[in-house]
């Protein structure tokens, strides 16, 4: 785990040019310990982004904004929650010193050791603990260090968190529980630092799985009344709390999947408005649909989207719905560039679909 | 020889541990009255680094070097002793340990235990007749429920497994609601969604039971942590069987509650069996209590058929858990007299003689009755009339529950989320359309109408 941590902080530093002082110095210290630090640029550049983030236009409706990368906007959302909700606590493995992805930097100093704290290294314990805290009335924000390590807590999430309200007839609930987990491929994460487990959870009534729209989604999930779990772009983020109803982004018709879409936004401007959100109206209008996600194709969430669109838009479809996803293999290390459903795979699928 | 050495070492360890705890408690006592202390253990317990000393400097443990090879032996032959207040004839063994409970309190204990017993008999029979789908009795473990529940404050949160109905009984959960849950009728607070005996009550701070074993253990730790932050003199008790203690979640809960310093009582009902699995196939250490010190947790083993021993241990654990913000482990030794559930025939894996011994010669109810009889608080007549009266009350509630309609099928869709999602409301509408069309194939008359 220590090796993995060093690896990722290095990655994060080089890619996102960390701004805060503490994380910068920590990154530097770790770099010194790493014998391969001078040759990192080669590996990094070779796998350099298979996508290009495009900043959204600066939002004006929420007041003052600040330029943040994704982890900073997570910290900002957590900060807002801790300051507005005295019951809110943040916990998980290594969150106290700021987290291995720097998402909780400074929060312990600002809010105290009883509100931002480390737990023993035990995922089922973290989620179980979070459920209990939420049941007793606290806002519990649990961190699972990588989405790949959420499976030990699968029982607590699926059998407990998701069913708490239902089974008790709404006497008890853990609606104030949020589980955050870094998610998706990173260029060199291999089997256990790259997974996209959303489809495992999409099959479970009672939880909300919410990738993207980081700050507003996280904020609303902290106060949403039902337990969800999250994912990574420099953007303009309002400094105050914004409450965006999760319901809307949850609705299947507006489901956005993954970084791929953003890549395509850069490259395939012509189709972008149709591909960005999978909604029925756009399929009705265009008659074609391509769904893409990093996770393996079989049993992936794209299957759910395509069968639903097929049901709802059968008479409008002019080509078979196309799925461009990860292959049905574990997520490999050195073969990652061949594994991921990158823009060329998507582009080819779109060409075939357009010429159908 | 080895065993002796080990036990003396263990004794030293326990002694040190108690000493440390006593010292911290003493230091904090004056201001505990006002406010709970938040001990930050990570810094507090890890030994300070000092390279000048010729002793181990490993951050992971505070210990001396030893120059000979010796493995620590587990002490299972002569295990942690079983704390007992009265013997099998209901005589107080050591007067200093007598909790001196009033006649009313003791009568209440007895009546709650026997009422639970009566309800068990009636509901067990009703399952045998196919009137409810499933049931689990509490035979032989009534003492653990009542004794521990009585030692708690009503505001303390209870997380249970499924064989703790006596705790609810003690807190005054109405017979009608027990029955409503088992019958899954329209009065059930759980809206008829779970199997029988999965009770829950918000008002009585009894968190709804779920079937997956041991999942409640780390949850109890989280709840205790939240209550500690609220600082309202509340504790959490978490019940589980010795079988459930083998689950990974038990390990998680014990360790979290110790490192995060939660005011929590772990109450293990060690009744010798997990369905058909005897304890020698469940663990090889000295039961569950012996695991406590490994987690840095104060632990005790009590006679679960002695309601006063259970009461005393819980009372003290509760007092200290709240004052010192640390978890306690109580292992109540008892025997599962009934079958595991109505889906189990325990004669397939254990002898009737064994069961009879516990039922006839060492039962928590008869032991308390001996105690009451010796004081002249209970007579044969009292027994007869109470038996008759309790049976009547239970039967009445039973018949009321049976006559009641089932909840509206609409409730199949609510509470999945706080608000019904658009997708779910479409599914609900589609169900109603379907049921409307094919109503002769669905038991619509048994359910409340919209």
- Which of B62, B70, B125, B281 is labelled catalytic? B125
User: Tell me, what's the ipTM?
Assistant: 0.89
Q: How far is CA A303 from CA A340, A350, B44, in A?
A: 17, 17, 53
Chain A residues with CB under 8 Å of B200 CB are: 168-169, 171-172
Q: Tell me whether residues A170 and B208 touch, CB distance under 8 A.
A: no
Q: Tell me whether residues A251 and B260 touch, CB distance under 8 A.
A: no
Long-range pairs of B106-112 with CB within 8 A, sequence gap ≥ 24: B106/B368, B106/B371, B106/B372, B106/B377, B107/B372, B107/B377, B107/B378, B109/B146, B109/B147, B109/B150, B109/B307, B109/B368, B110/B365, B110/B368, B110/B369, B110/B372, B110/B378, B111/B386, B111/B390, B112/B146, B112/B166, B112/B169, B112/B170
pLDDT of residue A19 exceeding 90 = no
Compute the distance between CA of residue B242 and CA of residue A204 in angstroms, rounded to an integer: 30
At residue B133, the pLDDT reads 95
**Contact status of A274 with chain B (Cβ, < 8 Å):** no
Of A12-21, A162-171, B338-347, give the lowest mean pLDDT range: A12-21
At residue B267, the pLDDT reads 98
Chain A and chain B share a number of CB contacts under 8 A equal to 165
At residue A137, the pLDDT reads 95
At residue A186, the pLDDT reads 85
pLDDT tens digit string along B286-342?
999 999 999 999 999 999 999 999 999 999 999 999 999 999 999 999 999 999 999
Contact A110, A117 (CB under 8 A): no
Q: What is the mean pLDDT of residues A44-59?
A: 61
pLDDT of residue B207 exceeding 70 = yes
Chain A residues with CB under 8 Å of B202 CB are: 171-172
B211 is catalytic: yes
Q: Tell me whether residues B212 and A159 touch, CB distance under 8 A.
A: yes
Compute the distance between CA of residue B287 and CA of residue B304 in angstroms, rounded to an integer: 14
Best B42, B46, B226 residue to mutate vs chain A (most A CBs within 10 Å):
B226
Which chain A residue lies closest to B184 (C-alpha atoms)?
A169
pLDDT tens digit string along B242-276?
999 999 999 999 999 999 999 999 999 999 999 99
Length of chain A, please? 356
Q: Tell me whether residues B218 and A152 touch, CB distance under 8 A.
A: no
Q: What percent of chain B has pLDDT over 70?
A: 89
Length of chain B, please? 450
| Top-confidence residue, A303 or A42 | A303
Chain B residues with CB under 8 Å of A89 CB are: 225-226, 229
At residue A72, the pLDDT reads 84
End-to-end CA distance of chain B: 75
- Which of B211, B343, B385, B430 is labelled catalytic? B211
Residue of A335, A264, A269, A268 whose CA lies nearest to A293: A264
At residue B272, the pLDDT reads 95
HSE, side-chain direction, 13 A CA sphere, residue B19: 6
Tell me whether strands A235-238 and A65-68 are parallel, antiparallel or unpaired: antiparallel
**Contact status of B42 with chain A (Cβ, < 8 Å):** yes
Q: How far is CA A279 from CA A256, A351, B167, in A?
A: 10, 21, 52
Q: What is the mean pLDDT of residues B122-151?
A: 97
- pLDDT averaged over every residue in chain B: 90
Dihedrals phi, psi of B302, to nearest 5 degrees: -125, 160
- Which of B198, B339, B340, B363 is labelled catalytic? B340
Q: Tell me whether residues A226 and B207 touch, CB distance under 8 A.
A: no
- Among the partner-chain residues B38, B42, B194, the one whose CB lies closest to the CB of A114 is B38
Dihedrals phi, psi of B131, to nearest 5 degrees: -85, -30
At residue A218, the pLDDT reads 53
Q: Tell me whether residues A89 and B229 touch, CB distance under 8 A.
A: yes
Structure tokens at A356: 């159908």
B340 is catalytic: yes
- Name the band, by pLDDT with cuts 50, 70 and 90, for residue A305: confident
Chain B residues with CB under 8 Å of A92 CB are: none
At residue A214, the pLDDT reads 52
Q: What is the mean pLDDT of residues B67-93?
A: 94
Tell whether the torsion through CA atoms of B313, B315, B318 and B319 is positive or negative: negative
pLDDT tens digit string along B166-178?
999 999 999 999 9
Query: Shortest Cα distance from B67 to chain A (angstroms)?
Result: 32
Q: Tell me whether residues B417 and A225 touch, CB distance under 8 A.
A: yes
Query: Shortest Cα distance from A113 to chain B (angstroms)?
Result: 8
At residue B3, the pLDDT reads 42
Compute the distance between CA of residue A300 and CA of residue A327 in angstroms, rounded to an integer: 11
pLDDT of residue A91 exceeding 90 = yes
Contact B337, B361 (CB under 8 A): no
Residues contacting residue A84 through CB under 8 Å, at least 6 positions apart: A241
Q: Tell me whether residues B252 and A120 touch, CB distance under 8 A.
A: yes
Residues contacting residue B256 through CB under 8 Å, at least 6 positions apart: A119, A120, A122, A125, A129, B218, B221, B222, B262
**Contact status of A135 with chain B (Cβ, < 8 Å):** yes
Q: Tell me whether residues A125 and B202 touch, CB distance under 8 A.
A: no
- Cβ-in-10-Å burial (0-12, 13-18, 19+) of A305 comes to buried
The three-point CA angle B329-B249-B227 to 5° equals 60
End-to-end CA distance of chain A: 48
pLDDT tens digit string along B183-202?
999 999 999 999 999 999 99
For the beta carbon of residue B45, count every other beta carbon within 10 angstroms: 12
**Contact status of A24 with chain B (Cβ, < 8 Å):** no
Compute the distance between CA of residue A44 and CA of residue A282 in angstroms, rounded to an integer: 38
| Top-confidence residue, A221 or B318 | B318
Query: Shortest Cα distance from A271 to chain B (angstroms)?
Result: 28
Best A168, A226, A252 residue to mutate vs chain B (most B CBs within 10 Å):
A168
Query: Shortest Cα distance from A49 to chain B (angstroms)?
Result: 36
**Contact status of B421 with chain A (Cβ, < 8 Å):** yes
Chain centroid to Cα B125, Å, comes to 25
pTM, two decimals, is 0.84
| Top-confidence residue, A247 or B4 | B4
Q: Tell me the residue ranges of DSSP E strands in B70-126.
A: 82-83
Compute the distance between CA of residue A327 and CA of residue A293 in angstroms, rounded to an integer: 10
Query: Shortest Cα distance from A175 to chain B (angstroms)?
Result: 8
Tell me whether strands A89-92 and A140-143 are parallel, antiparallel or unpaired: parallel
Compute the distance between CA of residue B313 and CA of residue B291 in angstroms, rounded to an integer: 17
Bridge partners of A296, per DSSP, are A326
Interfacial A residues in 140-159 facing B (CB < 8 Å): 140, 152, 155-156, 159
At residue A66, the pLDDT reads 78
pLDDT of residue B97 exceeding 70 = yes
**Contact status of B256 with chain A (Cβ, < 8 Å):** yes
Contact B372, B105 (CB under 8 A): no
Biggest distance spanned by C-alpha atoms of chain B: 87
Q: Tell me whether residues B260 and A117 touch, CB distance under 8 A.
A: yes
- Among the partner-chain residues A113, A129, A170, the one whose CB lies closest to the CB of B222 is A129
Q: Tell me whether residues A113 and B38 touch, CB distance under 8 A.
A: yes
At residue B22, the pLDDT reads 39
pLDDT of residue A31 exceeding 60 = no
Compute the distance between CA of residue B202 and CA of residue B19 in angstroms, rounded to an integer: 39
At residue B2, the pLDDT reads 41
At residue A347, the pLDDT reads 84
Query: Shortest Cα distance from B229 to chain A (angstroms)?
Result: 8
pLDDT tens digit string along B12-71?
444 444 444 333 433 333 343 344 544 444 445 566 777 777 889 899 999 999 999 999
Compute the distance between CA of residue A273 and CA of residue A277 in angstroms, rounded to an integer: 8
Query: Shortest Cα distance from A132 to chain B (angstroms)?
Result: 4
Chain A residues with CB under 8 Å of B226 CB are: 87, 89, 132-133, 136-138, 140
At residue A52, the pLDDT reads 66
Q: How far is CA A242 from CA A64, A87, A226, in A?
A: 12, 19, 18
At residue B218, the pLDDT reads 98
Bridge partners of B239, per DSSP, are B267
Q: Tell me whether residues A171 and B200 touch, CB distance under 8 A.
A: yes
- Name the band, by pLDDT with cuts 50, 70 and 90, for residue A265: very low
The three-point CA angle B100-B106-B111 to 5° equals 170
Residue that is written with structure tokens 């009934």 in the block: B338
Compute the distance between CA of residue A159 and CA of residue A156 in angstroms, rounded to an integer: 6
Q: Tell me whether residues A205 and B416 touch, CB distance under 8 A.
A: yes
pLDDT tens digit string along A116-173?
999 999 999 999 999 999 999 999 999 999 999 999 999 999 999 999 999 999 999 9
Residue that is written with structure tokens 């640390």 in the block: B326
- Name the band, by pLDDT with cuts 50, 70 and 90, for residue A84: very high
- Name the band, by pLDDT with cuts 50, 70 and 90, for residue A215: low
At residue A163, the pLDDT reads 96
- Among the partner-chain residues B157, B201, B218, the one whose CB lies closest to the CB of A129 is B218
Q: Tell me whether residues A89 and B225 touch, CB distance under 8 A.
A: yes
Q: Tell me whether residues A129 and B38 touch, CB distance under 8 A.
A: no
């Amino acid at each position: 785990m220590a090796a993995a941590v060093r690896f990722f902080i290095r990655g994060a530093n080089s890619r996102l040019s960390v701004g805060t002082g503490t994380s910068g110095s920590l990154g530097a210290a770790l770099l010194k310990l790493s014998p391969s630090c001078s040759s990192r640029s080669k590996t990094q550049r070779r796998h350099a982004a298979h996508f290009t983030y495009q900043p959204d236009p600066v939002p004006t409706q929420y007041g003052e904004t600040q330029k943040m990368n994704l982890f900073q906007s997570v910290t900002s959302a957590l900060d807002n929650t801790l300051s507005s909700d005295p019951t809110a606590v943040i916990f998980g493995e290594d969150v106290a010193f700021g987290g291995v992805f720097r998402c909780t930097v400074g929060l312990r100093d600002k809010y105290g050791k009883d509100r931002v704290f480390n737990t023993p290294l035990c995922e089922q314990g973290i989620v179980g603990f979070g459920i209990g805290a939420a049941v007793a009335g606290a806002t519990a924000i649990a961190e699972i260090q990588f989405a790949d390590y959420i499976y030990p807590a699968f029982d607590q999430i699926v059998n407990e968190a998701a069913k708490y309200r239902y089974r008790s007839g709404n006497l008890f609930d853990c609606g104030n529980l949020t589980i955050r987990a870094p998610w998706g491929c990173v260029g060199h994460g291999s089997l256990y630092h790259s997974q996209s487990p959303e489809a495992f959870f999409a099959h479970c009534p009672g939880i909300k799985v919410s990738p993207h729209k980081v700050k507003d989604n996280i904020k609303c999930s902290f106060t949403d009344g039902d337990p969800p779990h999250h994912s990574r772009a420099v953007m303009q983020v309002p400094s105050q709390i914004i409450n965006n109803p999760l319901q809307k982004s949850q609705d299947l018709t507006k489901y956005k999947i993954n970084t791929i879409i953003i890549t395509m936004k850069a490259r395939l401007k012509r189709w972008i408005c149709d591909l960005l959100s999978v909604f029925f109206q756009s399929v009705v209008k265009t008659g074609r649909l391509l769904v893409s996600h990093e996770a393996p194709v079989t049993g992936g969430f794209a299957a759910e989207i395509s069968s639903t669109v097929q049901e709802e838009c059968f008479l409008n479809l002019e080509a078979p719905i196309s799925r461009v996803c990860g292959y049905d293999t574990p997520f490999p290390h050195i073969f990652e560039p061949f594994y991921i459903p990158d823009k060329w795979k998507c582009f080819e699928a779109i060409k075939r679909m357009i010429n159908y | 020889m080895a065993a002796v050495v080990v036990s003396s070492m263990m004794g030293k360890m326990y002694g040190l541990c108690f000493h440390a705890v006593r010292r911290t408690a003493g230091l904090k006592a004056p201001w505990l009255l006002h406010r709970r202390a938040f001990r930050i253990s990570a810094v507090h317990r890890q030994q300070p680094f000092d390279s000048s000393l010729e002793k181990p400097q490993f951050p992971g443990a505070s210990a001396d070097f030893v120059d000979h090879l010796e493995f620590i032996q587990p002490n299972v032959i002569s295990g942690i002793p079983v704390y007992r207040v009265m013997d099998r004839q209901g005589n107080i063994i050591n007067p200093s340990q007598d909790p001196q409970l009033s006649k009313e309190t003791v009568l209440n204990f007895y009546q709650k235990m026997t009422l639970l017993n009566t309800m068990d008999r009636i509901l067990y029979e009703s399952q045998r007749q196919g009137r409810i789908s499933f049931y689990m009795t509490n035979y032989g473990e009534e003492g653990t429920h009542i004794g521990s529940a009585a030692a708690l404050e009503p505001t303390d949160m209870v997380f249970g497994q499924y064989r703790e109905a006596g705790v609810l009984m003690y807190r005054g959960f109405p017979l009608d609601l027990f029955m409503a849950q088992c019958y899954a009728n329209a009065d059930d607070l759980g809206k008829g969604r779970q199997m029988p005996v999965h009770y829950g009550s918000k008002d009585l701070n009894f968190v709804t039971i779920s079937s997956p074993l041991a999942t409640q253990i780390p949850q109890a730790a989280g709840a205790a942590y939240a209550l500690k932050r609220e600082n309202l003199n509340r504790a959490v008790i978490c019940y589980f069987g010795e079988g459930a203690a083998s689950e990974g979640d038990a390990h998680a809960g014990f360790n979290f509650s110790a490192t995060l310093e939660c005011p929590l009582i772990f109450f293990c009902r060690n009744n010798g069996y997990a369905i058909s699995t005897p304890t020698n196939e469940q663990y090889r250490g000295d039961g569950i209590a012996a695991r406590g010190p490994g987690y840095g947790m104060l632990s005790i083993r009590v006679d679960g058929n002695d309601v006063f021993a259970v009461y005393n241990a819980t009372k003290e654990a509760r007092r200290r858990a709240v004052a010192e913000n640390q978890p306690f482990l109580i292992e109540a030794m008892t025997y599962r007299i009934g079958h595991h559930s109505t889906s189990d025939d325990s004669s397939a894996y254990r002898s009737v003689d064994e069961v009879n011994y516990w039922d006839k010669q060492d039962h928590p109810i008869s032991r308390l009755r001996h105690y009451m009889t010796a004081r002249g608080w209970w007579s044969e007549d009292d027994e007869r009339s109470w038996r008759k009266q309790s049976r009547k009350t239970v039967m009445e509630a039973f018949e009321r529950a049976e006559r009641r309609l089932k909840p509206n099928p609409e409730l199949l869709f609510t509470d999945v989320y706080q608000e019904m999602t658009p997708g779910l409301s479409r599914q609900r509408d589609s169900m109603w359309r379907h049921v409307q069309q094919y109503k002769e194939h669905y038991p619509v008359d048994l359910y409340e109408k919209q």
